Structure 1
Amino acid sequence: MPQSGEKRMRLRYDGVCRLCGASLPAGVEAVYERATKTVRCLECAPAGAPNAPEPSDSTAESKAEPPTSAPDVAGASARREYERRKAKREKRIRAKHPKLGGLILAMSDDPQSTKAWNTGAIGEEQLGRRLDELASDSVRVLHDRRIPGTRANIDHIAITPTGIYVIDAKRYVNQRPALRIEGGILRPRVATLMVGGRDRTKLVDGVLSQVEIVRDIVGDAVPVTGVLCFIDADWPLLGGAFTIRGMEVLWPKKLYPLLVASGDLPDSVDEAGVRLSAALPQA
């Protein structure tokens, strides 16, 4: 039987299950909770509910309010883009080969441009779960925040007593990040980010541009630091982490102590979090 104040409906807007954090794209069936104005997937049920709510009539569905204040879900936009590309490819192949489409899909991989979105989503999801565990009264974490006026997003933002950390999660499996320095005496000093032997300095440029956006929102009173966090990379047993152009390059276990360190800015956490949440909508 349906619980009071709940309705099973086909979503008109993208949502996120408030219990398990699963992405719920527009068009899927889910349970809308009027009291909290949030949604949950059909697999999740509140404590003490023996059955999921039953479907309501289509007229009521069309009048339901859209869900609001859904929790941040790390990697949500990357996951949606991967699923969209994957579904588009499957639809195209099945339409072109009605009889052999299933076999072709089973025997072929997604193109690298599609798999890259899945790889990125996995990295953001892994790091996001651990950052959520670190969240507390003094550490606030935001995930997957859209930069207004662009299609770009910021993977993670941690607001802590020591300042704000703009964190870009990168998953380069078994590839080693390294700092290469050239020049310095007779010619300008140039710092280059190398990953797996390739120049990846554009990753640094991207994070630093995000840092400036966050600084414009919170002002100069709170320090803002950029972080490139490489997941599943080939880090050496000793050393490994480094700084490039004022930005930290490290791995998850090296990042966590920075976020929970004590500092002198306890009153800034809530204020900065409110400003950033308002200025950077969920992606």
Structure 2
Amino acid sequence: MVEDLSMPAPAPRRRAGLFTRLLTVRAFRTQQAQPRVTKSHAAVCTLLDAAAAKGVLALHNRRVPGRRGRIEHLAVGAGGVYVIDALHFKNASIEVRPTDDPEAGDDLVVGGRVLTSAVRAVAQRVEVLHLILVAAGLPDVPVTGALCFVDGLLPLSVADLQVEGMHVLRPSGLTALVAGPGPLGSQHRETLREFLAIRLPAST
């Protein structure tokens, strides 16, 4: 394509100003979001890595080739594979409320805000992982989804809520979940973790 030389070039000062403003906005948003992401992610990383003493093998920050987004945490325990999202809502109450539509199931409400979409996002990752295992000839390996709230306030009498089949729990409940009993022996868990590490590359 031939350039139209009659068109004036954009003024460098205006372009620089625009780019500077965009970079400033981006930096501000990153600074605002980073503490929440880092705290919840690091807490669950530490928790799952410590669960190795109970036979749990973990992977973190994995991507699914051909799909957008990533899987924050995977744990392989005797009971199967666990897909885990970590969330940080400091001192926010966590509850399950029925929706107005009886056929729509329940809503996850955190600090008065409906976060059922977060539950469905985990459910989608669970389905993707299940399909990967089916394609590898491992359809009988259970895949479980969980949302771990590192600072949320679940009812004291409840260790594990469930919304649309996904677990909603605090860190202590997550350890109990992934370290629970099941049919997978130590060699099965090692082999499964190696397969998932290859099939789901690390996200950079």
- Aligned residues: CA RMSD: 2.4
Aligned partner of 1:212 in structure 2 is: 127
Q: 1:131 matched to which residue of 2?
A: 48
Matched residue count:
177
Larger relative contact order (CA 8 Å, sep ≥ 6): 2
Q: Distance in 2 between matches of 1:200 and 1:125?
A: 22
**Equivalences for residues 1-283 of structure 1 within 5 A:** 92=20, 111-112=28-29, 114-136=31-53, 138-183=55-100, 187-219=102-134, 220-239=139-158, 241-266=160-185, 267-283=187-203
Partner AA of 1:221 in structure 2: D
Equivalents in 2 of 1:147, 1:176: separation in Å?
32
Answer whether contact 1:218 1:276 (CA < 8 A) is retained: no
What is the identity, as a one-letter code, of the residue corresponding to 1:130? Answer: L
269-278 or 187-196: bigger deviation: 187-196
Larger % of helix: which? Answer: 2
Normalised by the length of structure 1, the TM-score is: 0.57
After superposition, the C-alpha distances for 1:224-247 in whole angstroms (9 at most, x for unaligned) are: 000000111123322263111111
Scaled by the length of structure 2, what TM-score is found?
A: 0.78
Question: Is residue 176–residue 234 contact of structure 1 (8 Å, CA) maintained in 2?
Answer: yes
Give the Cα separation in 2 of the matches to 1:112 and 1:180: 32
Superimposed CA distance per residue, residues 57-98 of structure 1 (whole angstroms, 9 cap, x where no aligned partner):
xxxxxxxxxxxxxxxxxxxxxxxxxxxxxxxxxx947x99xx
Q: 1:112 to 1:178 in 2, by over 3 A?
A: farther
Is the 1:178–1:240 Cα contact (8 Å) retained in structure 2? no
Deviates more, 1:254-263 or 1:165-174: 254-263
Give the equivalent residue in structure 2 for 1:71.
none
- Cα distance in 1 between the residues matched to 2:181 and 2:154: 27
Q: Partner letter of residue 196 of structure 1?
A: G
Deviation at 1:112, TM superposition (A): 4.8
Ranges in structure 1 where 5+ consecutive residues have no aligned partner: 1-90, 97-109
Rounded Cα–Cα distance in structure 1 between residues aligned with 2:202 and 2:36? 20
Q: Which amino acid aligns with 2:59?
A: L
SS at structure 2 position matched to 1:239? coil
- The 8 Å contact of residues 217 and 275 in structure 1, kept in 2 or not, is answered as no
Structure 2: give runs of 5+ residues left out of the alignment: 1-18
Tell me the percent identity.
Answer: 32
Superposition misfits of 4+ residues, deviation over 2 angstroms: 110-114, 187-190, 234-238
